[in-house]
Amino acid sequence: MSEVATAPVMTIDGPGGAGKGTISRLIAERLGWHLLDSGALYRLTALAAGKHDVALDDEAALAEVAANLDVVFLAEGGATTVLLEGSDATTAIRTEQVGDAASRVAALPAVRQALLQRQRDFQNPPGLVADGRDMGTVVFIDAPLKIFLTASAQERAHRRHLQLREAGVDASLSSLLKEIQARDARDMQRSVAPLKPADDAITLDTTRLTIPEVVNRLTELLAERGLTSVI
């Protein structure tokens, strides 16, 4: 077995707003592991489709876009810059509009297949923290530790509302709640790789937990499984 194949993977799945991105990044930084933000790949596919006038219901064309994404992730100073076709797309892929489009794109089997190997290629020593919606159920089914982070829809809408306000963006809390609920339904009901915990995943509700509490708990779980000695 190759060294790459034995690199440990911790998958962190869950709905949008549960804290997956922040938690995954902090754990990867603490351990010195690689980080896969799988949602960014779907957001980038949606953004690239818009740039090239590809309709969100043209599955074959979208799969072609996904398979040929010109993307670079630059990690520096605790943050990640995302370049799409040479241009900074870090902020653009985090808009609600792109997030909604990404959810639609992610429901297409051909697109998911086009991105599958690209995601698996992130598994390299010393380890990988994989953030997404089907990391433990599809992409890394043999991962030794699978986490499913969740939180109430109301709490997730509240968190997103605060993020947007801090960024100077005016948004309606009630509209954000409706968008989150609609996205949850679409992700859970799609025919391919629906959003759900893996059978062997540990579910953690973050509604009333702080970020440090979640990071510490997940790092403890890694240590309990002998995947790291860092606490």
Residues 130 and 33 sit within 8 Å (Cβ to Cβ)? no
The domains of the chain are located at 8-221
pLDDT digits (tens, 9 = 90+) for 59-106: 999 999 999 999 888 766 667 789 999 999 999 998 889 988 998 999
Q: How far apart are alpha carbons 136 and 201 in whole angstroms? A: 8
What is the distance, to the nearest Å, from the Cα of residue 152 to the centroid of all Cα atoms in its chain? 18
> For the whole model, what pTM was predicted?
0.84
The neighbouring-strand residues paired with 73 are 82
CATH architecture of 8-221: 3-Layer(aba) Sandwich (3.40)
The neighbouring-strand residues paired with 80 are 75
Asked whether residue 14 is marked as a ligand-binding residue, the answer is yes
Asked whether residue 19 is marked as a ligand-binding residue, the answer is yes
Q: Which residue has the tokens 């009630």?
A: 174
Amino acid at 24: S
pLDDT digits (tens, 9 = 90+) for 176-227: 999 999 989 988 988 888 899 999 999 999 999 999 999 999 999 999 999 8
Asked whether residue 17 is marked as a ligand-binding residue, the answer is yes
Asked whether residue 226 is marked as a ligand-binding residue, the answer is no
Q: How far apart are alpha carbons 93 and 116 in whole angstroms? A: 20
Greatest Cα pair distance in the chain: 52
Asked whether residue 194 is marked as a ligand-binding residue, the answer is no
Helices then strands, each counted (H, E), the chain: 8, 8
Amino acid at 92: A
